[in-house]
Amino acid sequence: MKSVTLSEIVRIHERPFFLGRCATWRQLLPWALTLALGLPLLMLALHLIDPGTPLPFIVLPALVGGLLPMMMMGPGRFEMNTRFDARYMINTLDEALTSLGYCRTASGPDRISYFRPRPWLRGREGAIVVAVQPHALEVVGPVGSLRLLQQRIAC
């Protein structure tokens, strides 16, 4: 794939974070359980390992680590640019997305949609949409999935 270049993943800010849609209970349950049970246990274990460590040095990094997955779920996009017709890269993209658990749901001459069914996602939140242009594929989806996709394609 010497003639293919992958751009950096750019976050898409569709609306301000404080105006975001409320998540369903299925989405919030694993994250809330992790915050409510997992983080206090982690903080307790770290405090037992070194009781002399000031509490803010334990609590603040644990809270930042608990909030980090929220940043991974936001929407983003990247482009796969090439010198030849971009339609030749669709098979490579299909294989990489299939290995990540995605299935092609809709296909058209200039747009392809992929979806990975997960019970905690509402509607089509985890979907990846690919816009086919003459010499580029524009891939839009969750940032975490896009990072994994770039790694699979680069291999």
Contact criterion met (CB below 8 Å) for 10 and 142? no
State the pLDDT at residue 122: 54
| CATH 3.30.310.80 residue window(s) in the chain | 74-154
Give me the mean pLDDT over the 106-135 stretch.
79
Residue 47 in this model has a pLDDT that exceeds 70 = yes
- What are the helix (H) ranges across 14-139? 25-33, 39-49, 56-72, 90-99
CATH assignment, 74-154: 3.30.310.80
Give me the mean pLDDT over the 95-102 stretch.
90
Give me the mean pLDDT over the 65-88 stretch.
80
Residue 128 in this model has a pLDDT that exceeds 60 = yes
Tell me, yes or no, if the pTM score tops 0.85: no
User: What's the CA gap between 116 and 61, in Å, rounded?
Assistant: 31
Number of H helices, E strands in the chain: 5, 7
Q: For residue 1, name the pLDDT band (cuts at 50, 70, 90).
A: low
